[in-house]
Amino acid sequence: MTKRVLFTGGGSAGHVSVNVALIPRFKEKGWTISYIGSHNGIEKEMITKQFPAVPYHGIASGKLRRYFSMKNFTDPFRVLAGVMQAFRVIKKEKPDVIFSKGGFVSVPVLLAAKMAKVPAVIHESDVTPGLANKLAIPFATKIYTTFKETLQFMPADRSTCAGAIIREDLFSGSRAKGEELTELHASKPVLMVMGGSLGAQGINKIVRDSLDQLLEHFSIIHLCGKGNLLQKPREGYVQYEFVTDELPHLLEITDLVVSRAGSNSIFEFLALKKPMLLIPLPRESSRGDQILNANSFVQHGFALKLEEEHLTQECFITTVRQLRDQQWSMVEKMDEAPPSYTIDQMVDEIASLTK
């Protein structure tokens, strides 16, 4: 009899990317797959575009805020509506197991899974669980964490550190293809700058203000976000708004990375042995999870950190040079890092919960 798996997660690319990595392997194994997300979130765009044959079910979801908003009075009713909608989808799709990557849309799905008596798995990316996963944990059969430190916040009898689930295509990069795409060659180390899917204005500005000094020592690949291209070209400086299929090839020629500190990205750099300078989202723009992620990587010797509110041109240039000087000691530390679960291991773990 064909096994069935239902995925959920959304609100940001990070809450979808692991699902995107796992779905093809479940398809290869002959599972029937479905997805629950929000009506208009990024997860709908990503899943329907990459997996048009996977049934996508949009449900109502509400954001539970830590600050005062009039929506705090109405969103609980949206969550309740989402629970009933998710319950109907579960009864229709009859999944043997549900896998959740988090985000607020996952809360009603996990509650509905408990009501329907379907085993559910959560994968938590950050050092401390987000509010959505905190709410969903009581309804989960099994919880997997990316950071070992996260286990202290989880029920011990249901939690395991699995590490990050890394997309396999990232390991298939070609140096020749990367050099062809960028026209950058081995005369200088290559510094890749990533600000997230929308770019990061603070990082973009500090990099461009520092180009004269940086280009003396590095070639630069800058993923600057949609609408943020610098019109004046510079030799040794290559810009992209965003990349998809090109990314493995660009990473293959990259020596050092400047990045935000989203969990999925930094674990991908760790798996590829790319020393990092992390500039996490500031506290006023987030719940502080990226700062904790960055602190963990600094503690383990995988990265250096600069907080954006203290970012100056002089400090940035100095720290990038420190990163270059510490590159090989960081790579040695990365070699000692415990391996994350492979995609096959994660699929087997999820499958083990089915009857």
Q: To the nearest whole percent, how much of the chain has pLDDT over 90? A: 74
Q: Give the model's pLDDT for residue 15.
A: 83
Distance of alpha carbon 323 from the chain centroid: 23
Q: Give the model's pLDDT for residue 228.
A: 86
Q: Give the model's pLDDT for residue 68.
A: 46
- For the chain, where are the alpha helices, taking DSSP H only? 17-28, 42-50, 71-93, 106-116, 131-136, 175-182, 201-209, 211-214, 247-252, 263-271, 289-299, 313-325, 327-335, 343-351
- Name all domains of the chain by residue range, CATH numbers in brackets: 4-165+340-351 (3.40.50.2000), 169-335 (3.40.50.2000)
Strands 190-194 and 219-223: parallel
Q: Give the model's pLDDT for residue 195.
A: 79
315-341 per-residue burial string, b: 16 or more CB within 10 A, e: under 16: ebbebbeebbebbeebeebbeebeebb
Where the chain has pLDDT below 70, the residues are 62-76, 196-199, 284-286
Q: Give the model's pLDDT for residue 92.
A: 97
Q: pLDDT, tens digit, for every residue of 50-90?
A: 999 999 999 998 665 454 454 554 566 788 899 999 999 99
Q: Give the model's pLDDT for residue 279.
A: 95
Q: Are 11 and 32 in contact (CB under 8 A)?
A: no
Q: In what order do the strands lie in the sheet with 32-38?
A: 56-59, 32-38, 4-8, 97-100, 120-124, 142-145, 159-161
What are the backbone dihedrals phi and psi of residue 28, each rounded to the nearest 5 degrees, phi first?
-60, -35
Q: Give the model's pLDDT for residue 288.
A: 78
Q: Give the model's pLDDT for residue 274.
A: 98
Q: Give the model's pLDDT for residue 65.
A: 47
